[in-house]
Amino acid sequence: DIQLTQSPSFLSASVGDRVTITCRASQGINNYLAWYQQKPGRAPKLLIYSASTLQTGVPSRFSGSGSGTDFTLTISGLQPEDFATYYCQQDTSFPLTFGGGTKVNIK
């Protein structure tokens, strides 16, 4: 199975901050990676797929990069509605797997 390791697990940030979350795969996954946002009590929402493509309707302050084993999700100018948990997910091979999540808290 492909393991996805996210770091950090938790981070505290202020509105307006630039935030970077990393996701490392246990083996190369090309760019077959997505990022999801989940708010408490809500279902996850697709933000980015194919490592760097923004899903329709997602604000441009979100961006993704990477290929192979190392990926990043960046939020440029954190907004109050961005405080949530973020997960990466690979679509290279079964079983499909998710990272452990990064919870972004208000500082």
Partner 1 sequence: EVQLVESGGGLVEPGGSLRLSCAASGFTFSDYYMDWVRQAPGKGLEWVGRSRSKAKRYTTEFVASVKGRFAISRLESENSVYLHMNSLKIEDTAIYYCTRGFRLNGRTWFDPWGQGTLVTVSS
Residues that bind partner 1 (CB under 8 A): 32, 34, 36, 38, 43-46, 49-50, 55, 87, 89, 91, 94-101
Name the residue type at position 52: S
Smaller CB separation from partner 1, 38 or 69: 38
Q: How far is the CB of 81 from partner 1 (least distance, A)?
A: 18
Nearer to partner 1, 16 or 43 (CB): 43
Longest dimension (CA), the chain: 38
DSSP string, 73-107: EEEES--GGG-SEEEEEE-SSSSPEE---EEEEE-
CB of 21 to partner 1, least distance (A): 14
Give CA separation, 82 vs 4, 69, 73, in Å. Answer: 22, 26, 13
Question: 80 or 95, CB closer to partner 1?
Answer: 95
